[in-house]
C-alpha cells in the first residue's frame, strides 16, 4: 500500500545524501552556533574580563597623566593611536581568537567541511513575496515562530530566576561604594548572561536534534525513487539480472567441464565443495579446477558422483581452499600435507600408485 501511494518509506541512499550535501542541504541549527558563542564569550569575559578592565584603566590613567599641549600633530596622533591599539589588541586578541575557533568547531561539528559556492549565487525565487509568505505560513515556519517565542519565555524565566536569587544583594546595592557597585553590576550581568547562554545552548541542542530528524525525513525515498536511482547508476535492473544469470550459467558450464577431470572433491560437507586435479606429469602441484558454495557445491558433488569421483569430507581444508584459492590456481604450500593425505587416501581406494607430491613431507 505504501509503495502504491508513493510514500517515502526508504532510507536515503548514499548517492541521495551526497547530492543533497552538494546542494548545501544539511542538518544545521543557527541557534547552536549563536548559543555556543554566547557561552564561550561570557565565560572568557568572566575569566579575563577583570584583567582587561584593569588594563583599560591603566591606559586611561596613562593618557590622562600625559596630556600634552593640544596641538594637531599627525605623527603624535598616529603614534598614540598605535600604542593604544597595540595594548588593547594584545588583551582582546586571545578572546577574539578563541571565539573564532569556537565558531569554526561548532560549525564543523554540525556539517563538517562543506564548500558550496552555488549557495552564494542570487536566487530569484527568494525575492518572490508569495514564496516568502508561503514559507512563513508553512508548518516549519509556524514551528520556528513557536520555538522562538518559547526561547523568549525561557530567557525571561532564567534571567528572572538569577535576579530573584540575588534580590537581597540588589536591594542593598545602594549602600555600596561606586567601585564595589560597578563590580557587582558587571558580575550580575555576566552571571545572568552565562545562565541564559547555557539555557539557550540546551535548547539549541534540541533544535539541532530536530533538524537532523527532519533532514532524514526529507531525504527519505519511495520505492520508485530507489529503483530509478539504481537504474541510473547501475543500469536497468532487468538487464543486470539477465547478465548475472548468463554469468552464472557460464560458471556452471565451466564447472560441468572441469569437475569430470578432477581426482577428488573435498567438501565441508554440505556448504562447500572444491574439486582438485593432480597430474604429476604436467602439474607441479595440485590445482583447484572448480569450487563453489550452496547450490554450486551441490552441483559439484552431483557431478562428482555421476563421474565416479571420490568425495572426501575435510572441513578445515575445504574452508581454507575455498577462501584462499581461485579456480585454475595451484594449492598453497601450507596445504600440501593435507591435500597429499586426501590424494593418498583416494589413490589407495582406487588401487592407483600414490604420486610424490612436492612439499608433502613438510
pLDDT band at 153 (very low <50, low <70, confident <90, very high): very high
The answer for residues whose C-beta is within 8 angstroms of residue 270's C-beta and 6 or more apart is 297
* Total residues found in the chain within this entry: 362
Higher-scoring residue by pLDDT: 59, 158: 158
Please write down the HEC assignment for all residues of 282-305.
Answer: CCCCCEEEEEEECHHHHHHHHHHH
User: Partners of 287 in the beta sheet?
Assistant: 277, 330
pLDDT band at 2 (very low <50, low <70, confident <90, very high): very low
Describe the strand order of the beta sheet including 272-277 as a list of residue ranges. Answer: 287-293, 272-277, 264-267, 311-313
What's the burial of 164, exposed, middle or buried (CB within 10 Å: 0-12/13-18/19+)?
exposed
Separation in Å, CA 258 to CA 86, 303, 307, 321, 344: 86, 10, 11, 17, 21
Cell numbers for 11: 532510507
Let me know: does 278 contact 357? Beta carbons within 8 Å. yes
Neighbours of 175 (CB within 10 A): 8
Higher-scoring residue by pLDDT: 183, 141: 183
Alpha helices in the chain (DSSP H): 14-22, 30-65, 74-111, 129-137, 139-165, 167-171, 178-219, 223-234, 237-258, 295-306, 315-324, 336-350
Cell numbers for 14: 548514499
- In which region does residue 330 sit, left (phi positive, over 0), alpha (psi from -120 to 50) or beta (all else)? beta
Cell numbers for 87: 595594548
Least confident of 89-98, 205-214, 304-313, 318-327: 89-98
* Domains of the chain, residue spans: 14-116+124-228, 244-350
Determine the Cα–Cα distance for residues 322 and 325; give it in Å rounded to an integer. Answer: 6
pTM (predicted TM-score): 0.55
pLDDT band at 235 (very low <50, low <70, confident <90, very high): low
Question: What's the whole-number mean pLDDT along residues 259-268?
Answer: 87
Neighbours of 228 (CB within 10 A): 12
Mean pLDDT of the chain: 80
Determine the Cα–Cα distance for residues 300 and 266; give it in Å rounded to an integer. Answer: 10
Find where cell 543500469 sits.
235
Q: For helices 223-234 and 14-22, what crossing angle results, to 10°?
A: 90
Separation in Å, CA 147 to CA 35, 106, 140, 153, 210: 15, 21, 10, 10, 12
Using the predicted structure, report yes or no on whether residue 113 has a pLDDT greater than 90.
no
Let me know: does 208 contact 27? Beta carbons within 8 Å. yes
Determine the Cα–Cα distance for residues 243 and 236; give it in Å rounded to an integer. Answer: 11
Q: What CATH number matches the domain at 244-350, 1.10.110.30, 3.40.50.300, 1.10.10.10, 3.40.1690.10?
A: 3.40.1690.10
DSSP class of residue 280 equals T
Closest C-alpha among 355, 339, 358 to residue 347: 355
pLDDT recorded at residue 56: 74
Determine the Cα–Cα distance for residues 267 and 346; give it in Å rounded to an integer. Answer: 14
pLDDT recorded at residue 120: 63
Three-state SS for 131? helix
Least confident of 91-95, 183-187, 234-238: 234-238
Amino acid at each position: 500500500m505504501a509503495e502504491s501511494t508513493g510514500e517515502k518509506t526508504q532510507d536515503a541512499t548514499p548517492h541521495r545524501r551526497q547530492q543533497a550535501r552538494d546542494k548545501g542541504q544539511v542538518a544545521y541549527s543557527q541557534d547552536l552556533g549563536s548559543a555556543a558563542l554566547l557561552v564561550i564569550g561570557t565565560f572568557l569575559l568572566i575569566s579575563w574580563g577583570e584583567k582587561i578592565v584593569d588594563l583599560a584603566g591603566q591606559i586611561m590613567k596613562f593618557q590622562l597623566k600625559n596630556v600634552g599641549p593640544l596641538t594637531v600633530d599627525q605623527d603624535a596622533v598616529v603614534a598614540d593611536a598605535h600604542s593604544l591599539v597595540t595594548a588593547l589588541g594584545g588583551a582582546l586578541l586571545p578572546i577574539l581568537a578563541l571565539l573564532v575557533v569556537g565558531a569554526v568547531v561548532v560549525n564543523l561539528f554540525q556539517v563538517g567541511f562543506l564548500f558550496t559556492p552555488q549557495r552564494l549565487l542570487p536566487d530569484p525565487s527568494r525575492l518572490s513575496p508569495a514564496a516568502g509568505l508561503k514559507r512563513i505560513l508553512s508548518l516549519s515556519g509556524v514551528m520556528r515562530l513557536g520555538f522562538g517565542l518559547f526561547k523568549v519565555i525561557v530567557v525571561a524565566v532564567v534571567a528572572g530566576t538569577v535576579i530573584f536569587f540575588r534580590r537581597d544583594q540588589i536591594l542593598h546595592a545602594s549602600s555600596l561604594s561606586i567601585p564595589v557597585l560597578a563590580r557587582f553590576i558587571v558580575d550580575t550581568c555576566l552571571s545572568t548572561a552565562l545562565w541564559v547562554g547555557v539555557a539557550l545552548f540546551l535548547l539549541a541542542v534540541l533544535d539541532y536534534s530536530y533538524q537532523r530528524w527532519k533532514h532524514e525525513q526529507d531525504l527519505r525515498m519511495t520505492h520508485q525513487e530507489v529503483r530509478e536511482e539504481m537504474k541510473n547508476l547501475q543500469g536497468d535492473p532487468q538487464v543486470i539480472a539477465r547478465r548475472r544469470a548468463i554469468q552464472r550459467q557460464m560458471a556452471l558450464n565451466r564447472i560441468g567441464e572441469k569437475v569430470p577431470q578432477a581426482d577428488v572433491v573435498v567438501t565441508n560437507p554440505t556448504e562447500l565443495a572444491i574439486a582438485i586435479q593432480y597430474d604429476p606429469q604436467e602439474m607441479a602441484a595440485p590445482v583447484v579446477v572448480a569450487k563453489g558454495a550452496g547450490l554450486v557445491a551441490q552441483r559439484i558433488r552431483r557431478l562428482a558422483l555421476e563421474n565416479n569421483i571420490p568425495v572426501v569430507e575435510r572441513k578445515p581444508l575445504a574452508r581454507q581452499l575455498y577462501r584462499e584459492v581461485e579456480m585454475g590456481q595451484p594449492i598453497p604450500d601450507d596445504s600440501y600435507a593435507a591435500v597429499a593425505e586426501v590424494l593418498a587416501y583416494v589413490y589407495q581406494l582406487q588401487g592407483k600408485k600414490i604420486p610424490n607430491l612436492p612439499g608433502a613431507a613438510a
